[in-house]
C-alpha cells in the first residue's frame, strides 16, 4: 500500500519540523522537499515589485519535482534505499512494494498550486500562521540567499495571500492546521489523521 501526504503551508509555518517528526514515526517513510527544486538565483526573474520572484511557482523546477515523486510511485523500496531510508524488515525482504505500507511526504509552500500535483495526494495538510508571527519567524531565519530589506511585505506576504486563494480554488480536500498551536498538537492531529487513512485503505 502506498500513500502520499502533502504538507503545505506559509513560509516559516512549521512544515519541516512536522515533516521531520513524521519521518521518524511513520513506517517506510520518505520525503520530497519542494525547497530542493528552486532554480539557480540567476534564473529567478525580477518582478514589477522590484524583487527577485522566489515565492512563485516559476522559481521552482516543478517537472523535476514531479519526476522525483513518480520515481517513488514506481518503486518506493528502491527510492527509499537510494535516499538512505531504513525500511521495515518486511519491506526490506521484498523488492516489490506489495509488502507493507510505503509513505511519501511532499513538503513545501506551493505544493497545492501546481495542477498536475493536485490528484497525487491521499492526504492534504496546510499550516498557517498570522502575518505578525510569520514576519517575526522569518526575520530570525538565515537563508542561503538573504532576504533584501522590504522583501517580506513587498513580495513574500502578498504572494502568500495570492497563492492561498488560488490553492483554495484548486483543492477542496485540505485539512488546515493552526501553526500557533503547539508542535505536539499539530503532530498528533496529523499522525492520527494519517493512521485513519491507512486503516481505511486496508
Residue 199: all three cell numbers together? 486503516
Sheet with strand 102-108: strands edge to edge: 29-33, 102-108, 2-9, 123-128, 174-178
Reading phi first (left if > 0) and then psi (alpha if -120 to 50, else beta), residue 197 is in alpha
Instruction: Specify the DSSP class assigned to residue 26.
Output: S
Cα distances (angstroms) measured from residue 122 to each of 16, 47, 110, 145: 19, 35, 17, 33
Active site residues: 35
Tell me which H or E stretch contains 102: strand 102-108
Amino acid at each position: 500500500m502506498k500513500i502520499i501526504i502533502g504538507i503545505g503551508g506559509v513560509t516559516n509555518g512549521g512544515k519541516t519540523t512536522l515533516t521531520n517528526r513524521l519521518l521518524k514515526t511513520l513506517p517506510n517513510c520518505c520525503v520530497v522537499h519542494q525547497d530542493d527544486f528552486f532554480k539557480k538565483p540567476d534564473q529567478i526573474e525580477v518582478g514589477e515589485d522590484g524583487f527577485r520572484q522566489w515565492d512563485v511557482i516559476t522559481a521552482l523546477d516543478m517537472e523535476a519535482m514531479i519526476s522525483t515523486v513518480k520515481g517513488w510511485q514506481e518503486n518506493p523500496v528502491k527510492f527509499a534505499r537510494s535516499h538512505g531510508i531504513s525500511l521495515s524488515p518486511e519491506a526490506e525482504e521484498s523488492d516489490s512494494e506489495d509488502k507493507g505500507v510505503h509513505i511519501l511526504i511532499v513538503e513545501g509552500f506551493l505544493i497545492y498550486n501546481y495542477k498536475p500535483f493536485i490528484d497525487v495526494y491521499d492526504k492534504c495538510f496546510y499550516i498557517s500562521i498570522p502575518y505578525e508571527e510569520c514576519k517575526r519567524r522569518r526575520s530570525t531565519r538565515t537563508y542561503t540567499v538573504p532576504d533584501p530589506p522590504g522583501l517580506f511585505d513587498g513580495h513574500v506576504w502578498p504572494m502568500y495571500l495570492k497563492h492561498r486563494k488560488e490553492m483554495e480554488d484548486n483543492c477542496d480536500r485540505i485539512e488546515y492546521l493552526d501553526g500557533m498551536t503547539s508542535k505536539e498538537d499539530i503532530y498528533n492531529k496529523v499522525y492520527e489523521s494519517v493512521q485513519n487513512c491507512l486503516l481505511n485503505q486496508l
